[in-house]
Amino acid sequence: MSIRPILIHPDPRLKKLCQPIESVSTDIGKLAEDMLETMYDAPGVGLAAPQVGVLKRLFVMDCVKEEGESPRPMALINPEIIATSDEVNTYEEGCLSIPEHYAEVTRPKRVTLRWLGLDGKTHEEEFDGLWATCAQHELDHLNGKLFIDHLGTIKRSMITRKMQKLKRDKARG
């Protein structure tokens, strides 16, 4: 396993529609393991393949937050939302590709997802609360959408300008 560098917004690769994965190969297994390691190291609760520069439909997440509860590392291949609740939830979201910026985003409170697991089988599960928010945030990444795209234009461009500056400062060292 190895930690992969996380792309920082703005980056054209974060705006692309990602392609479905045709088979659960050992390369995909390795990618998922690297992504989980990268996510835990960051630390974060979710990470999508385009954030490490791979334009494929895969994300990982683990929203277990309680001390003493065992982690639940999940890798979801070709995930689809098959149902959403009418009830919504507002969370202050952040993103490993947009460090140190947070904003409230309202999304359905519960979502049912169908995906292909690393075991090659189709899974289906309903997620609630933080898990549901995280799953929707990560799925957005696979469609080239960031959480700031849910915000108003002014807030979005303000964050983008700050990120551009951060990247320029970093490049200068």
Query: Minimum distance between the CB of residue 95 and Zn ion, rounded to whole angstroms?
Result: 3
95 binding Zn ion? (CB under 5 A): yes
60 binding Zn ion? (CB under 5 A): no
45 binding Zn ion? (CB under 5 A): no
Of 33-41, 91-99, 109-117, 148-156, the window that binds Zn ion (rule: CB under 5 A) is: 91-99
9 is in an annotated binding site: no
Query: Minimum distance between the CB of residue 133 and Zn ion, rounded to whole angstroms?
Result: 11
Q: Which CB, 77 or 139, lies closer to Zn ion?
A: 139
Of residues 144, 165, 147, the one with CA closest to residue 102: 147
87: annotated active-site residue: no
Q: Which CB, 61 or 95, lies closer to Zn ion?
A: 95
150 is in an annotated binding site: no
Query: Minimum distance between the CB of residue 172 and Zn ion, rounded to whole angstroms?
Result: 26
Q: Which CB, 24 or 75, lies closer to Zn ion?
A: 75
What is the residue whose two structure tokens read 């979801």? Answer: 76
For the chain, give the secondary structure using H, E and C.
CCCCCCCCCCCHHHHCCCECCCCCCHHHHHHHHHHHHHHHHCCCCEEEHHHHCCCECEEEECCCCCCCCCCCCEEEEEEEEEEECCCEEEEEEEECCEEEEEEEEEEECEEEEEEECCCCCEEEEEEEHHHHHHHHHHHHHHCCCCHHHHCCHHHHHHHHHHHHHHHHHHHHC
Q: Which CB, 18 or 95, lies closer to Zn ion?
A: 95
What is the residue whose two structure tokens read 């990618």? Answer: 31
Compute the distance between CA of residue 153 and CA of residue 42 in angstroms, rounded to an integer: 28
Q: What are the catalytic residues?
A: 138
Contact set with Zn ion (CB under 5 A): 95
Annotated binding-site members: 95, 137, 141
- Which residues are annotated as part of the binding site for Fe cation? 95, 137, 141
